[in-house]
């Protein structure tokens, strides 16, 4: 393989994360749990309660003390439902108990109701041998008060929000939303809802990125569509630089005459890198305009998707304080041959079928439909050929959102 003059995905990724480290958001806000999904925890969430707060029954059944039980039927001395506070167990008796109810003092075992017989005189006969602690969920089984449940930097999904609710929290302290200005560049672009002029296409990147950004906890500033004119481009970047933590653009970063975004960034900004050994997505351009970082994604929808998912996403999570920004990936057998090694790392739209990755038939960077068909991206390293049954790394889309 001829050595590639392009920047590697690793180098680009490291450079973006270094940049992100310098742009870490410091402000936090308190947000209701119902609004906190996808946000990032600003402080450790520390338990105020033991969970469970007291030993409770894991079954509908009967609570007794096995240590002073000789196998004889027992009288039922009380009935305890979830939400009630029991009396101490009368020695030599058992208590009717239901799932989630506190186990009374003096009891050390719960037998499930299926394994007992109610005698005609109301007493309970236990049909099997019993052991101490069975079917009792001990106090603090899940966590102890004072324990760090979720560390600062944790992204909040439904599980984390449920953990916070379990401690009685109504609000959590989260890092403020990154403000991201989204700019679509291209004379040919038209917003849906407007008649299409000859030679034009509708803007599909804007909605894709807006939703993806929201899912990453960001506030989207819609910068609209920018014509391919350097003067306009410069003015727009000047306007946005004070409003945004990041300017995210699509299009205009290749080497063509109409590719103004890249030109302006190189002439009037501070370019950090341009052109990666990645396919699709080679023209990705990153730099600063004034003090604001700019990530210039290529305009082709699949290129925008791949570079956003693999590079911009990690940047946006890291500025919010997320530590592990590497997307989930795993090796998978491929269901196709890949006879020709490429000089750039490829990310193919692929689907998992019967434990193998298969490819969307059209991998053109202009084709968006393949992303909807696919379950994720299959990574083929530069210089690599594959035969059916070989393994390659798969990055599921579900983890990229
Ligand atoms: P560019 O990166 O500006 O050279 O654009 C590459 C290709 O992507 C061209 O065919 C553009 O028309 C197309 N494209 C650029 N921006 C968008 C967009 N926002 N939505 C859909 N297609 C786009
Ligand atoms: Mg363009």
Domains of the chain, by residue range, sit at 9-27+176-319, 31-50+142-175, 56-137, 330-400
Q: Domain spanning 330-400 has what CATH number?
A: 2.40.340.10
Given this model, what pLDDT does residue 138 score? 98
For residue 56 and ligand 1, the question of a CB distance below 6 A is answered with no
Low-confidence ranges of the chain (pLDDT < 70): 1-4
Nearest CA to ligand 1 atom 8: 300
Q: For residues 313 and 213, is the Cβ–Cβ distance under 8 A?
A: no
Six-digit token pair at 361? 């038939």
Distance 314 CA to ligand 1 centre (A): 23
Please check whether the domain covering 56-137 is classified as CATH 3.30.565.10. no
Q: Which atom of ligand 1 is found nearest the CA of 188? A: 12
Equal fold, 9-27+176-319 vs 31-50+142-175: no
Given this model, what pLDDT does residue 202 score? 98
For residue 369 and ligand 1, the question of a CB distance below 6 A is answered with no
For residue 301 and ligand 1, the question of a CB distance below 6 A is answered with yes
From the CA of 203, the nearest ligand is 1
From the CA of 225, the nearest ligand is 1
Q: What is the largest CA-CA distance in the chain?
A: 96
Q: What pTM, to 2 d.p., does this model score?
A: 0.95
Given this model, what pLDDT does residue 113 score? 98
Q: Which atom of ligand 1 is found nearest the CA of 253? A: 2
Given this model, what pLDDT does residue 5 score? 81
Our CA dihedral for 144, 147, 152, 158, rounded to 10 degrees, sits at: -10
| Class of the CATH domain delimited by 9-27+176-319 | alpha beta
Six-digit token pair at 308? 């956003």
Provide the CATH topology of domain 31-50+142-175.
Molybdopterin biosynthesis moea protein, domain 2 (3.90.105)
- Comparing CA positions, the residue from 3, 38, 32 lying closest to residue 316 is 38
Q: Return d(Cα 361, Cα 230) in angstroms, integer.
A: 37
Given this model, what pLDDT does residue 3 score? 52
Q: Which atom of ligand 1 is found nearest the CA of 259? A: 3
Distance 300 CA to ligand 1 centre (A): 5
Residues with Cβ < 8 Å from 245, sequence gap 6 or more?
A: 23, 25, 178, 179, 180, 292, 293, 319
Q: Return d(Cα 295, Cα 290) in angstroms, integer.
A: 13
Please identify which residue in the block is written with the tokens 């009288």: 75
Distance 345 CA to ligand 2 centre (A): 23
From the CA of 183, the nearest ligand is 1
Distance 54 CA to ligand 1 centre (A): 60
């Amino acid at each position: 393989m001829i050595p590639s003059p392009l920047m590697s995905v690793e180098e680009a990724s490291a450079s973006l994360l270094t940049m992100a480290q310098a742009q870490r958001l410091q402000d936090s806000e308190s947000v209701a749990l119902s609004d906190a999904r996808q946000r990032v925890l600003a402080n450790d969430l520390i338990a105020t309660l033991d969970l469970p707060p007291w030993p409770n029954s894991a079954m509908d059944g009967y609570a007794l003390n096995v240590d002073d039980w000789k196998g004889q039927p027992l009288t039922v001395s009380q009935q305890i439902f979830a939400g009630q506070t029991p009396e101490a167990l009368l020695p030599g008796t058992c208590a009717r108990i239901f799932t989630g109810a506190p186990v009374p003092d003096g009891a050390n075992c719960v037998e499930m109701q299926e394994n007992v017989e109610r005698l005609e005189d109301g007493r309970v006969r236990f049909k099997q041998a019993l052991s101490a602690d069975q079917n009792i969920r001990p106090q603090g089984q899940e966590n102890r008060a004072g324990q760090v449940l979720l560390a600062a930097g944790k992204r909040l999904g439904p599980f984390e929000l449920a953990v916070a609710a379990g401690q009685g929290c109504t609000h959590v302290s989260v890092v403020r939303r990154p403000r991201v200005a989204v700019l679509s560049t291209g004379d040919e672009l038209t917003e849906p809802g407007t008649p299409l002029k000859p030679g034009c296409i509708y803007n599909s990147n804007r909605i894709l990125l807006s939703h993806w950004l929201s899912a990453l906890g960001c506030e989207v500033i819609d910068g609209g569509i920018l014509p391919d004119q350097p003067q306009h481009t410069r003015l727009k970047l000047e306007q946005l630089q004070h409003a945004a933590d990041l300017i995210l653009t699509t299009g205009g970063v290749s080497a063509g005459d109409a590719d103004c975004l890249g030109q302006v960034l190189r002439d009037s900004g501070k370019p950090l890198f341009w052109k990666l050994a990645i396919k699709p997505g080679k023209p990705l351009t990153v730099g600063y305009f004034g003090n604001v970082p700019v990530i210039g994604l290529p305009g082709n929808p699949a290129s925008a998707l791949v570079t956003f998912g693999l590079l911009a996403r990690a940047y946006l999570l890291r500025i919010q304080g997320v530590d592990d920004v590497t997307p989930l990936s795993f090796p998978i057998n491929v269901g196709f041959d890949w006879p020709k090694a490429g000089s750039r790392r490829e990310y193919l739209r692929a689907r998992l079928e019967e434990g193998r990755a298969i490819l969307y038939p059209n991998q053109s960077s202009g084709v968006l439909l393949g992303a909807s068909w696919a379950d994720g991206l299959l990574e083929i390293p530069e210089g690599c050929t594959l035969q059916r049954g070989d393994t390659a790394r798969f990055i599921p889309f579900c983890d990229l959102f």
